[in-house]
Each structure stands twice: as structure tokens, then as C-alpha cells.
Amino acid sequence: MHLILIDVKRGRKRVIREDEDGTNTSYGRISRELAEKYVGSYIPNTFLAVSPLSLREAAYQPKKFRYATQIIYPEDRGTIITFADIRPNKVVLEAGTGSGFLASYITRHAGFLYTYEVREEHYKRAVKNLRALARPGSRKAFNADVREFKSLNVSVDAIVLDMPSPREVLEHIHETLKPGGRICVLVPTYNQVEKVYLKLLELGFIDIFARESIVRDLSLKPGAIRPVHRGITFRIFTIFGRRIYGSSSRAGFEDDKGDK
Ligand SMILES: C[S@@+](CC[C@H](N)C(=O)[O-])C[C@H]1O[C@@H](n2cnc3c(N)ncnc32)[C@H](O)[C@@H]1O
């Protein structure tokens, strides 16, 4: 178990990873053995409260769980899991694995995850993070282009793409999605939202919609509660669609173009 030690007097946090024997604090070195004894309470003679580390907290500890890439922050996982309808009996395909954070979140909800990362150095980092953060026995990670997934002849319930050129791979992998299955594409600009939207229409996806998630923390000062001035307010845009057999939705696209 990864642990977090919260110094309630100074507001500092220290993490002890599963494979570490302790951490240095303002009260000297605290061993894993001692911290484990006090999970859910305070370490005697200190202001250190001990708790199991959450996946969200792990994502904000880049010194302990290193990033090889930009990552998907845990606040966005609710949107992805909810609208891609990822549940314990569902099989999911994801690319690129990147630093393995989104992949780790997905394994906590899905039945099984296939995840692809084309760059070796990213793959190696992701494998380390997956070992530390993913649900055991829940995934297979490949150091390969996601287009190769087709050769496995596996159908999936959902596809999640967080990679620079999702449009280029969509036509190679969309048929691995079961009819009725959901796609979720994550992009950082409005321009890419439009490009992905047009590609999904072209491929016959229906029920397409896009979201922008804006989150603001509140400063809890009694008598003056309001949004904090600093923090990450924008992270990613999410586009969802549903795969359906047949060509009627493509015909719908032609009609839409005619209306303009
Ligand atoms: C932004 S990162 C993904 C971060 C990841 N979602 C996370 O939370 O850690 C995008 C990754 O996509 C990978 N990538 C780009 N094209 C790819 C492809 N065709 N197949 C597999 N991975 C690809 C890149 O090498 C990069 O590591």
C-alpha cells in the first residue's frame, strides 16, 4: 500500500511508496513500519496523519510516480468513465499509454484494458507506473502502434484515445469497437475537436458530443469562501460517440452538409 503522511500543522504532504522503507519529515525519518501502524490516525508526538494514498494524490506526485508525457488528470476520469460507459464487465482499448495514468484509472473500473504506446521510453515509464497504480491482472500493455490492435482480432466495448493524431488511427481501429460501443477522444484544442468530430461522422458514429471540463477549487476561508486564484482550470476536451452498424448516419451527414 502507498501511504500519504499529511502534516496538519504545516499543510505539507509526504508519500511513502509501496517499495520505499520510509520518508524524511519535519519530525525526522518516519519508517514504513511505523507509518503502517497508524493508518487512519496520527503518528504519536507529531502532527502527521497517515492515510492510504489515493489515485488522485498519486497523479500529483511527479517525483514519486514520474511523467514521461503530459498526463490525464484524475479529475477528468469521472467524465471519461461515465460517458464511455466503462464498467467492470467491459473490455477497453486505449492509446497512447503515455505515462500510464489514464490507463491506471481505467483499470480501476473496466474488466480488462489493452493499452498501446508507440515510443519505447514512454512505454517503459508507463509500465512502472502501471505496476504501482493499476489494478493487478487487469491489463495488457503493448509497445506498438495502436493500429496493430486489429491483428489481435479482439472486439472491445470502448476505445479511449489520448494521442497527438487520433484522426489518423481512427479508421484503422474503429471496427474493433462492438456495435453500440463508445469512443472517447481527448484533445487539447477546439480545432482538433472539430477535426475529430468530422472524422467520427465520416466513420458513421452517432450520438456524438463534446465536453469541456472546467474545475475550480474553493478557498474555504470562513466568511470569505470563493474560488482560489491559482490552479489548473482547463485540462482537456473530450469527444464521445457511439458505433452503430449501417450507413444511415453517413447519409445524415450528407443531409446536414446540404442544409448549410
Ligand atoms: C499525451 S500522451 C498520453 C498520456 C496518458 N493518457 C497518461 O495519462 O499518462 C500521448 C502518447 O501517445 C503516444 N502515441 C502517439 N501515436 C501513437 C500510436 N499511433 N500508437 C500508440 N501510441 C501513440 C505518444 O508516444 C505519447 O506517449
Give the single-character DSSP code of 191.
H
Q: Are residues 31 and 139 in the same domain?
A: no
pLDDT tens figures, 25-48: 999 999 999 999 999 999 999 999
Best of 56, 61, 69, 128 for a ligand 1 pocket test (most atoms within 8 Å of beta carbon): 69
Confidence (pLDDT) at 230: 76
Would you report the helix, strand and coil content of the chain in percent, each value rounded to 5? Answer: 35, 30, 35
**Lookup: cell for 94:** 486505449
As a dihedral over the C-alpha atoms of residue 44, residue 48, residue 53, residue 56, rounded to 10 degrees, the angle is 160
The rounded percent of the chain whose pLDDT value lies above 70 is 93
Cell 446536414 maps to which residue? 256
pLDDT tens figures, 47-101: 999 999 999 899 989 889 999 998 998 889 999 999 999 999 999 999 999 999 9
Q: Are residues 26 and 123 in the same domain?
A: no
CA 170 to centroid of ligand 1, rounded, Å: 14
Query: Which of 21, 76, 79, 16 has its CA nearest to residue 51?
Result: 16
Confidence (pLDDT) at 248: 56
> Is 64 inside a domain boundary?
no
Q: Are residues 190 and 255 in the same domain?
A: yes
Q: Are residues 144 and 202 in the same domain?
A: yes
Q: Are residues 191 and 91 in the same domain?
A: yes
Confidence (pLDDT) at 138: 94
> Is 30 inside a domain boundary?
yes
B/e letters for 128-145, b = 16+ CB within 10 Å, e = fewer, are: ebbebbbeeebbebbbee
> Is 60 inside a domain boundary?
no
Q: Are residues 126 and 219 in the same domain?
A: yes
CATH number of the domain to which 211 belongs: 3.40.50.150
H helix and E strand count, the chain: 8, 14
> Is 127 inside a domain boundary?
yes
Other beta carbons within 10 Å of 181:
23
As for ligand 1, residues whose beta carbon falls within 6 Å of it are 69-72, 95-96, 98-102, 116-119, 122, 145-146, 162-164, 169
How confident is the prediction for the chain on average, in pLDDT? Answer: 91
Tell me which amino acid residue 176 is: T
Q: Are residues 104 and 215 in the same domain?
A: yes
> Is 42 inside a domain boundary?
yes
Range of the structural domain that residue 41 is part of:
3-53
CA 141 to centroid of ligand 1, rounded, Å: 12
**CA 58 to each of CA 25, 49, 104, 106, 228: distance values in angstroms, whole numbers, following the listed order:** 18, 17, 11, 15, 22
**Lookup: cell for 155:** 472486439
Q: Are residues 198 and 116 in the same domain?
A: yes
> Is 244 inside a domain boundary?
yes
Confidence (pLDDT) at 183: 97
Cell 503493448 maps to which residue? 142
Confidence (pLDDT) at 260: 38
Q: Are residues 239 and 124 in the same domain?
A: yes
Q: Are residues 183 and 212 in the same domain?
A: yes
Grouped pLDDT means (10 residues each) for the chain, 260 residues: 94 93 94 96 95 92 90 90 96 97 96 98 97 95 98 97 96 95 96 96 95 87 90 81 73 46
> Is 65 inside a domain boundary?
no
Other beta carbons within 10 Å of 213:
16
> Is 98 inside a domain boundary?
yes
| Number of domains comprising the chain | 2
Cell 474555504 maps to which residue? 220
Q: Are residues 35 and 119 in the same domain?
A: no
CA 162 to centroid of ligand 1, rounded, Å: 6
Q: Are residues 217 and 113 in the same domain?
A: yes
CA 89 to centroid of ligand 1, rounded, Å: 25
